[in-house]
Structure 1
């Protein structure tokens, strides 16, 4: 769909050709989506404000001097302008506070995630060492101690030396 002259030639139905990130946190809205929606709203507002004519009411004519009601008209216009400026200022302060809060929140979440990752790594190392220790003790029990070292026989006779066979033969006789 192409935009018409009425909407400024802009495609209001689509997302303007930009890719929008979809939230993966279980139904919440992503910060990227909100920023793009906010930008779209600001563009629309700017376009509307540019196209709306400024109407100044209660203007005095070229030949008129200041009468008794001009002061009250001036005060009313001044009050309206002051109200508009204060609304703009409070709106700016709110947006600034929200942006700062979101920045601090993201920093806190990032720091918490780093701490969690560090503790997770520590737990995994501890678990791995415990597992290695357990397998090491199981291997020590199942395997003979050293194959190169001979253990003495219980009866005092050795199978390897010829002397013990002779002694064993002597005992039989």
Structure 2
């Protein structure tokens, strides 16, 4: 489905202070990288050129401009195979400059969570991800609706406060 939403790089390029990302699913659509991991292939983290992607560079450049980028994931336990892989590849996110935390879903009961994953830029612009049942991105939506921004910001901060830093979270 075509989207008229600005691409992620454009939105991040306009960001001045903060970008936060809340992920709520236990699996997303399979990728070749995920399939390779399931076959036992592993990344040689010492050979950065083999795994450093344009996304990683975009994050590093944005952090270098002074933008704080935080990602929080709410996950079921025991974690799914997809989450085990995602935890493994999060090394790239952290290396690029993202701060990443994980919250076991059972600890999120008292948090009002939105139904969809999102990015929130500078506490003003919300990019909402809509997925199919099998985890494929169907479309993204942009909103500056104050109530949606307020809910998503509060949800992210509540998750962040309780979540476990990436290096301490065991899968």
Q: TM-score range by the shorter chain?
A: under 0.3
**TM-score under structure 1 normalisation?**
0.23
Higher share in helix: 1
**TM-score under structure 2 normalisation?**
0.23
Higher share in strand: 2
Looking at CA atoms only, which structure, 1 or 2, has the larger radius of gyration? 1
